[in-house]
Structure 1
Amino acid sequence: MNQQHEESSSARRVQFCSLYAGQVMQNQDGIWQQDYAQDQFLTCLSTQQIFQKVDQSLQGIQDEAIWMQALRKLRARLMLRWIWQDCNALTDVPQLTRELSDFADACVIAAKDFARPALVKKHGEPIGENGQVQDLIVLAMGKHGAQELNLSSDIDLIFSFDENGESNGRKCIDVQQFCILWGQKIIYLLDHITADGFVFRVDMRLRPWGNGSALAMSHAALEKYLIQHGREWERYAWIKARAITGGEVGQDLIRMSRPFVFRKYVDYTAFAAMREMKSMIEKEVARRQIDDDVKLGAGGIREIEFIVQVFQLLYGGSKLELQDRQCLVAMQHLMNDQLISMQAYEELKDAYLFLRRVEHAIQALQDQQTQNLPIDEQLRQRLIYALNFASWDEFITQLNQRREKVSFYFSHLIQERIQEVDQPDDSLDNEDLKNYLDAQAYQHVEQFWQSNAVQRLPSTALKRLKQFWPHLIKAILNAQQPQTALMRLLPLIESILRRSVYIVMLMESRGALQRLVKMAEVSPWICEELAHYPVLLDEFLSMDFELPHRSDLENALRQQLLRLTSDDVEDIMRVLRLFKKSNVLAVAASDVLAESPLMRVSDVLTDIAEITVKAALHLSYQMVAQRHGYPVNMQGERCSLDQLDFTVIGYGKVGGIELGYGSDLDLVFIHQYQEQTETDGKKSISGLEFAMRVAQKFMSLMTTQTLDGRVYDVDTRLRPNGDAGLLVCSLRAFEHYQLQNAWLWEHQALVRARSIAGDTALCQAFEQLRCRILTQKRNENEVRAEVLNMRQKMKDHLGSSAEQKKHGVFHLKHDTGGIVDIEFMAQYAVLAWSGTNPDLAHYSDNVRILEDAAKAGCLPSNDATALTQAYLRERAESHRLALANQSLQVNAADWQDTREVVYKLWQRLIDPNANVVLGGK
């Protein structure tokens, strides 16, 4: 056995020596003899073992030159081991590339740790605006990021940090400059060539703007770059991005980049870039005549990686398993998801592993980063020995067979994706529209093509528009109302002419254009929103037309706000606006295309508003507290970000969980501070002034008008004393006003009130106070008279005129038998009966109030059911009309039966003497 082992080891050594450069062997002969004698070359290394070897080699070294020497000698020693194992088939490609990548990780981390103390001694700790010590986040890109490093790969890195700020030493510098110096030292420690060679060549060109930009940038700056300037090829590069330092902050940065790389929808916008990149690869092969390059040549490694990455970009947003960084893992997921056949997977996998082994053998010859097959006969012999081939011809035959299969799949798999795009009839043109449009509408089409907006388009954008137009005509001609759809879509098309990527989206996304045309037929409001804010088209293409869940909405907004500081006010408002508008658009699309239930639609619209209000409140509180410190609450405790002692009360539609598409928010602000006690900041203010500033900042975030519109219109007139009262009041003042000074109509409004944001304890205290106010025993006749009086005032001011009624007009909301009548009856039930039936004051929405009135025996169940059905029917129609941008004045004859149901109950409950003739029959 020992003799056999010696013979086997000797054979391996001969083969290894024939492969690897003799000079390196001579330089490391002592190391070679030691490791070989101990059989160290027979076993693979775990990640932990590699990190231990790096730590042990550098332990206790303070001198920079000695440190660099020790790491370079360890690198040579490990390279001997890896090449020995590779050429003797003692490892495989995934294991070898993982070990190489682990070593790179360990070296980068070691260099980062070694470089830091000298910088801190000179400049102090780098402190961010959040008061936290900043770490250098190192992102590994390319093969390093995917843990697929070659034997002689360089490593592609990007340096970042969490927040801007300054160091706290005598020679103070900003955090960015500190991190730039830190990164420069890391590069020097690893890349600099000494008598012992180098550790890794470091390439920083994948950072934003490449070599022309700062070596390190903040998380926020990196995110802004990707959103505003990220190019299509960078999406391919960022597929493999991996944070190797920075802990959870580093992982946050990677999570931030995912929406840039992977779109939530099947990303047909990648088609244009796919065509261009595929053509570029093919032209480069032909131009450079690099057929001998096993990576870049035809049928090489790059083509396999490109196939996988194309599928990842197309489907990775919806199929999360495709976001894996490693080529072979992602390829297996493609097969599992039936995006490629099992045969394609097996043949591409075989070619990839073969080509990577060839690549390693080439690089082992002279420790150079090359993938070119050698020309020299001696080098060729050494290569085929390592790869276990009898002759060069046998090797080339095997190589070419695999490259031919890769070239086949590179051509056909990509082309199949491109051919998925529907191709419209090329003969379709404007003449086809004449049969469907009247003269005036067709004139609009001609004016569109003759407009300055079209005439001044760059050639590329104009070409895309002309390619898209037949697709648009085809979709419109298939619509039930072609003229309506076209006239509503033209302003949208005009608004995105210079954002021609959206034209590509609509042209190449299967079904998206058809959905847009259908929505245009139903809702001009949706078209107007998209025309005003074209960025919403991104969201439109990602919609699955299922109503979003509240937890998903909360997580989405939290992630978007996570990287913004309180100073980024404009960006905060932009995020809040986009969150609200995109999600309301998603609800509208679900409403139109999926016919979602009314109650569920209102619930989600209300969720969107509540989540936005909560975020705006916390941001407003944080902004004021940073400037003025925290106030003292009524218990004598200092408040904090976790204990606001401030709440926002929603009234009306948001309070009643019945928001519509164009609803504003009726809000009241309540605090629980000691109003005269000063805050604890350097610029201290009274507790009352603190509360006022929080409310004012909140109003600014929510209602400031910008080019993107505003988040919500907010009405605060339902606060105590209305416009004459303070914008915010204490809970005690609110209680005193409601019990001593409020009119009955204000208690009526309180029926549809509930706390929607703020401190939990204060929200509960408000709910208890609300129930106490509403459940006071009242004289039913007095309540009836007050409700009737208020209802008549609303009819006089907001209902249809006598002339309109004469012509058969019915206002769904304000006329007799409309929505307000039902709302007033529900409010009457609470005010008149909750003194003896307190459960009636529990809910703020009309449907559940009517249900509870029936359960309590205050209202016959058949009456409650009839009112509820009438209410839901009228509200559903109001939603439909809002989407259609139409008035709530409808044909009275169509609503006669519903109105009679409501009116008879109104007579019975509120006004027995009513004598209104319901027109329409």
Structure 2
Amino acid sequence: MHLTQDSGLPDPERSQKNIQAFLSEHPEYAERLNAFATEVSTLFSYSQFLANYCIKNPQELFYAVDNLDMPFDTEHLIAELKGLLASCNSMNDGMKIIRDFRKNKFLVITLKDILRQAELQEIMLDMSNLADAILCVSLEFVESFLIERYGRPENNSIAVIALGKLGAQELNYSSDVDIIFVYKEDGQTSGISTIQGMTINKISAFEYYTKLVEQYTRFLSANTEDGFAYRVDLRLRPQGQRGSLVLPLKGYEEYYESWGQTWERAALLRARPSAGDMQLGQAFLKAIKPFVYRKYLDFEAIEEIRAMKSQVEQIKAETSRGGSPKSPDFLGYSRDIKRGYGGIREIEFFIQIFQLIYGGKEPVLRERGTFKALHKLLSKGFIGYEDYGQLSDNYIFLRTLEHRLQQLNDIQTHTLPSIDAELDILARKMGFSDRLTFLSELNKRRHRVRAIYDSLLESRKSPPQCQTYGPLSSIFWDMETPIENLLTEELSNTKITDIKKAIHYLTKIRNNIYSFQTIRGRRLLEDVLPKFVDEALKGMNPESALLQLVDFSNILSSKESYLEVIAQRPQIISVLNFIFSQSEYLSKILTGSPEYIESIVEGEIRKKSSWELKNELNILMERHGKSAAIRLLRKFEEIKLGLLFLDKKISVIELMKTLSKTADVILSTLLQKLKTTPSLNIIAFGKLGGREIIFNSDLDLIFITHDEPLEADIKTAEQLLRICMSYTKDAIAYKIDTRLRPNGSKGPLVSSLSGLREYYLKHAQVWELQALLKARPICNFRFQVSNLRFMELKREILIERSSEITISDIKKMREKIQKELSKETPNTYDIKLGIGGIEELEFIVQYLQLKNCKKSPQILVQGTLDAINRLSKMNILKDSDSMMLKETYIFYRTIETMLRLRNETILKKDAHSAVVQGIASFLNITEEEFINLLNAKKAWIRNFWDK
């Protein structure tokens, strides 16, 4: 049995090695191994711990795969285990039986899990039932040896109380079992009778049960040659490690009544009798109920809960130190998915806070299990459906991830691996194609958990600062104060890297306060500018924000209209600083007019429908005229969509489609307002044709009519171009290129459909046919017949002429563009035109479309991603190649968009450059990882191109 990378296993290499080791030890099982190839190879890929066990115990492996439907209720497990221990007379033999029993059952549970034959809740319940059975039978077994020596305690018994995940019946693969022990009451054992008839070895109940707990925990947790059964954690008992191992029921009542703390109330929320005397266990639960669930809640209790949250925050802060915030394996915070940012513990703590506050008055909330507790919180109206869905879904995701981490080596870990190869394997175990996709999804989920978690209790506010304006003292804003000595120390506590440059920027900003035009203007400046500086210095990219603030403060000092907008809406300061720190392109738009600033606080920042955009454009045209209106709408949308993109609320694909939709609405509405004949229509080529434009994109258009164009059609087209491209104080609305029309710049501006057909069938060159792939009509009103006719004509032309196109033609064209237009050098990347860049990727896709469109016309779609999907669906592209092309295209367009936002066209091959750092940070990876990823993708595209 040979496994390859295409086997569908997360770690085929590990699986192959384990299979070889198994067959080397047990060649006689080769035929049976093949019969269960899927089950065995999957198990050996996921768990080295169980693979090692199976190599030593092959019969247990095949028993497990034959019995995946065996019952896992506690009663069956107890009966089976008691049968195995019935003839056992030594502690050591008992340990081996218990450990082998656990591994055999783990085999079944693990196979059910990784083969997707059981949901997470069932897996956790099976784990918990197994633990209950082992705890129960082990207690009886160990106690039998003590009874032989000390006799039975008279009228007494002991109960094992499970806490934590075992108490909730949500145990994981390699979890500690958190337990405490309670016995009935003080007394003595009966002792044993000697040959002479004397009674000896009478000891107190406390001494007896202490010895029992000591031997019991050793029996379970001792690491023998067969491993351990369970690690036992007793630290949740009264007084922790300093406290007695076991207490009588009255002892617990007295302790919790007098000394119990809030964290102990939280721990006892999940208390459940697991083994021993179940009636005594129920008596324990009844005794602690008044302590855990209080009928009345005072302010002191609320403060205790708030303090618990702060303490957890402090622990998480300590565990997250040491990781690069730009490294994807650290996700910007702790790799610990249990205790770290947005982890398992936060979901559990979220629930426990509600239970502690309201459980006394609302008995329905007294649920141990996470899912049931969340459902009860929903049913009682404490949380909404969205929070319920998010927390439930993310708890399943995080607990599944925890299981995948622990299944490998039976180690109690909650930490993501830091090695890329291990992360890739983990990603595949979680159903993702690669680590970056997985980490991105995990990042989003942890952010969602943290947002809900933070919404419950406000974080403790910091004490008031003695400074007036955040990092900078009020003295700084006094013109008589020397700046350098004052600022050096204060700026060292920010993210500023070049303090000298920052001081230069701050000096200019401060000086602009005193360039006011009116007394009122100065007063507004003195109020607004320090707030801007404060926000800028607290941001992620303070130097970029300060640089933009220099120019903006100069505008503020001369235009009170800006100051009034900001003074009335102080919340806008944070938004503006965010843009200043992220995008020079958007910053320049914002500083052009107070209307653009007002646009980001008036109304919701979101994607809009075509109908909403058209309605807004018509209103702007009535107020400002056509020319100003189209500029305003385009820039309004670029600002808002830029904010959504930079804030990661929309993807680069959504951004491109929405910017393209905005251009479509502007052009179609403008044409409708201008034209005097019904025939004229606009055909979009290039990036607009593919719905793939980004910030500041040019538009490739041609004009067509159904019949021969009239003079009025030509005038309308000319007027539209003039309105879009005329220069004003706000620059042009769109730069439009019409050279893709028949015969280029020498041809007529408007063509008829018949003229278009004649030209493309008889005269168009290969590059023109390639460009035609992305062509589509923009205007849909009144032209449905014309639009359909154009699309039919396009398909007819491409199918008829596709056989003339050779790979040689495509390569020559690509090499010419690269040689003449690419700006790539040994020290820079040209993401668009360089080797292995966007255009090379698009040429690959377009060649495959042209080559195969005759037999598969449905591949003639405009967008690059749509084309890749169609090529994959028609089996023209392999799934793996399709996935890589799509991922690379999205990666490249994201980089290109980030460059446009920074007014850059090329990217330096320097991991320390501000642009590289900014893009890497946006992608949640380190600078070095970004450069390596970019090089790898460029090499892959070039290799695919060469093939």
TM-score (norm 2): 0.45
Q: TM-score, normalised by structure 1?
A: 0.46
